[in-house]
Chain A
Amino acid sequence: MKRIAFITTLLAGLLFILAPNKAHAQCKQQMVYACATKGKSIYLRDFNTKLRSSKPHERSARWTVVLNKDAHYRFNLCTPEGYEDKVIMTLYDSQHPEKTNPYGSTYDPKTGKHTDSFDFICRKSGMYYISIRLKEGVKIKKTCAVGILSFVGSTH
């Protein structure tokens, strides 16, 4: 009996050590997949992050992305249920700063309206920034959010 208990414990321990163990809290692949395949546009890239209001550096995440001239892109934002009006995705660069004059966003501060997607007609190839951040003043323990970049078509 003792031997069986020992072997069981040892096996459980080994499994625990060897099993894939990613201690991050990004959105799960199923959610990324659902978000990436919900429209008819062609999926290009995802921006997956965890968000927490208690730590300032975890309130937002930023990525660089190269976009091509004359392409019609779509940006979709997906969050777990109940967080739709707490997270904002924004496209910007140094000439169009995130806070004051971004190219596009899922939140319009003038109307207070949230959308889960926006389109961008790129007229010059180059490097742009995408941010996903918790809305100002939002306090939550933790959540995740995923942004999807997809190709709608050329604007020729």
Chain B
Amino acid sequence: MNRGPLAKYFVLLVLMFFVNLIFVGCSGCKKDQDTIEIPKNLPVHKEKPNPENQEVVDQIVNSFPSPVEVAAIIKDMEVPFSKKYLADPGIIDNYDINFKKAFGLGVLSADLGYLNVYERTTLIVEYLSAIKRLADDLRVGQFFDFQAFKRLATSNENLDSLVFLSVNSFSNMNHHLQENARGNLSLLMVTGVWLEGLYLMTQVYKEHPNDKLKELIGDQKTIFTILYQGLKLYNNDDYFKKILDEFKKIDKIYSQVTITYEKVKPSYQSSQSDIPVYEQEERSVINITDQQINDLINITEQVRNKLINL
């Protein structure tokens, strides 16, 4: 049978299909290509993690609260907005390695969450630009649709969409890093989010002290413990060591805070009767003294300011 030229091109197309399958099939198992070349006399920042740690770290990262959650809790307490709680987006100019960039991306994402929840759209663009730069440097900028963000922020209309886009972009960047064996960068991102959240809570408490916020700050011990264990998996890296040295100071205070549990009868009344409400019948009781909360406020401020300027 005499095959015409179009048949040959069809064969070529089929061949390309199989080449594509090979590419796609390997995309999930592709090794990271961006290991930094480090001169011998410089501190070592290994970007490739130990694969044994990867699963544990992925679980920690994936379970962590969203960058908007602390802001949502604080706004719900009717605490007024204040720009002074936020990090200066200009700090990113000093970030020269990917680890610093990942940590900074987390810090600024928490601040973006705060701005979103308080609907401060005029300030959002400045933070978006900084986040976009960090995301591009970490090669996860494709998950950050800057133009869509800018359009939503400047139109001041659909704030639900802005929150969705912020949280979703953060989550997609995290997943991409994990899938490409860069889970240590993800861990630094959530570390930045968590520390900025704790800083926000403690700063708000300093100006608007209340028992509920005090309890919430003490209760962060639970989340801190999980995060601290995750960070310890990378204690052979110089940058992680610096973070761990700082976190030791927070750990010293949290180790004095005790959490006990007691049975309670569900008492919460929901305003929306058509949705089933389930309330836990056991609650945690946070035992934290005024001295401990004051120590936490001071240490958190020191640690956060040191790490964002590292």
Contact = CB atoms under 8 A, between A and B. Distances in A.
Q: Do A and B bind each other?
A: yes
A37 to B, nearest CB: 5
A124 interface: yes
Given A68-B65, A69-B216, 18 more contacts: A5-B5, A6-B5, A13-B12, A17-B20, A36-B164, A36-B168, A42-B68, A43-B164, A44-B69, A64-B63, A68-B219, A69-B215, A70-B215, A121-B279, A125-B222, A127-B226, A151-B68, A154-B73
B72 interface: yes
B268 A72 contact: yes
A45 B24 CA distance: 27
* Central interface residue in A2, A36, A68, A103, by most chain B CB within 10 Å: A68
Interface string A96-111: 0000000110001000
A2 B163 CA distance: 53
Nearest to A19: B20
Interface string B263-307: 010101010100111111111101000000000000000000000
A118 B168 contact: no
B62 A63 contact: yes
Interface of B is mostly: helix
Interface residues of B, number: 57
B37 interface: no
Given A37-B164, A42-B72, A118-B275, A68 B280 contact: no
21 contacts: A2-B5, A5-B5, A6-B9, A9-B9, A9-B10, A12-B13, A13-B13, A17-B20, A37-B160, A43-B164, A115-B276, A118-B278, A119-B278, A121-B266, A121-B277, A121-B278, A123-B280, A123-B283, A123-B284, A125-B223, A154-B212
Contacts of B117: 42
Nearest to A154: B76
Nearest to B22: A17
B88 to A, nearest CB: 26
Contacts of A104: 276, 278
A68 B286 CA distance: 13
Contacts of B76: 153-154
Given A68-B65, A127-B63, A120 B278 contact: yes
A156 interface: yes
Interface of B: 5-6, 9-10, 12-13, 16-17, 19-20, 23-24, 59, 62-66, 68-69, 72-73, 76-77, 117, 160-161, 163-164, 167-168, 171, 212, 215-216, 219-220, 222-223, 226, 261, 264, 266, 268, 270, 272, 275-284, 286
A45 B61 CA distance: 13
B20 to A, nearest CB: 5
Nearest to A74: B275
Nearest to A106: B276
A151 B278 contact: no
Contact of B23 (A17, A155, A156): A17
Contacts of B63: 63-66, 127
Nearest to B266: A121
